Amino acid sequence: MTTAQVGPCAQVSFARIARKLLAFAAIALAVPAAARAEMLEIQLGGVDIGYDGTNIFDAGAGDPDPLNSVAFLVDGVQVGSVLTSDITLDLFIPDVLDIADTGDVVVSGAGGFFDIGLPGADFLDLDLDAATITYVDLTTVQFAYAGSVAAIDGQSLPFGLEIGDPVSISFSTQIDPGTLVTAGGFVEEFTAFGTGEVRGILVPEPASVVLGGLGGLALLGLIWRRRKSA
């Protein structure tokens, strides 16, 4: 039995396929992880904050404020169990000025921080950029924050998770009855309680980052073997 020879046209065709597959593998390795990764959400319960006319801060009076719960979700699906102990929030948002007492939207200064303490020395430390602060004067007075993170200062998350850029933070709170102080048409002081959320890209494990490239190379090898056996 003789082995079939691969003619010039087939060789050219195979070369083209090989180049395309190698290009695909290179692209798969080069595309930023953010383009393929899932969304990681960290939901915070029991967020307590204060406002003194200038800055927003957690209600811990110099120490991080205890939270009621912390939950981790990937694309909306909970990962692990909800944490309910040894969880804290250390928060500072500077230069939140001139909030009109009839309702207002203002922009804070940059340079704040949003640090979450977790059990077993796990943590997430975030440096804040400028953010949008919304005050709504309703029967149930609401105070909301939405902003982006300037930098991930450090992290060690449970369940093998890692958060990556871009990261955003939001929280929505209701002002504690009897704590709202206004003067001259502006909000001077209050404390509030509610919930918060951190959202960012789930950083994939190294093996999953290169999976697309390896898959392309494996397909290339399969085609090569079939061509040789033809």
Residue pLDDT, tens place only, 167-197: 999 999 999 999 999 999 999 999 999 999 9
- Domain for residue 4, yes or no? no
Q: Do 133 and 115 reside in the same domain of the chain? A: yes
Same domain as 71, residue 16 = no
**Residue 26 and residue 88 share a domain:** no
In a domain, 1, yes or no: no
Q: pLDDT tens, 84-99?
A: 999 999 999 999 999 9
- Cis, bond preceding 166 (omega within 30 deg of 0): yes
Distance CA 121, CA 108 (A): 30
* Domain match, 16 and 48 both: no
Could you tell me if 182 and 197 lie in one domain? Answer: yes
Q: Is the pLDDT of residue 33 over 60?
A: no
CB 144 within 8 A of CB 173: yes
Give the per-residue pLDDT at 62.
84
Please check whether residue 3 lies inside any domain of the structure: no
User: In which domain, by residue range, is 23 found?
Assistant: 9-31+209-229
**SS3 letters for 60-89?**
CCCCCEECCEEEEEECCEEEEEEECCCCEE
Whether the per-residue pLDDT at 209 is higher than 70: the answer is no
Are residues 26 and 138 both part of a single domain? no
Length of the chain: 230
SS3 179: coil
In this structure, is residue 185 part of a structural domain? yes
2 lies in some domain: no
Nearest Cα residue to 45 out of 19, 67, 14? 67
C-beta separation of 51 from 44 below 8 A: no
Does 219 lie in the same domain as 122?
A: no
- Identify the band that residue 142 occupies on the pLDDT scale cut at 50, 70 and 90: confident
- Over residues 120-135, the mean pLDDT reads 96
What is the number of structural domains in the chain?
A: 2
Tokens read off for 155: 């992290």
Same domain flag for 27 and 57:
no
Task: Examine the domain organization and report whether 165 and 218 are in the same domain.
Answer: no
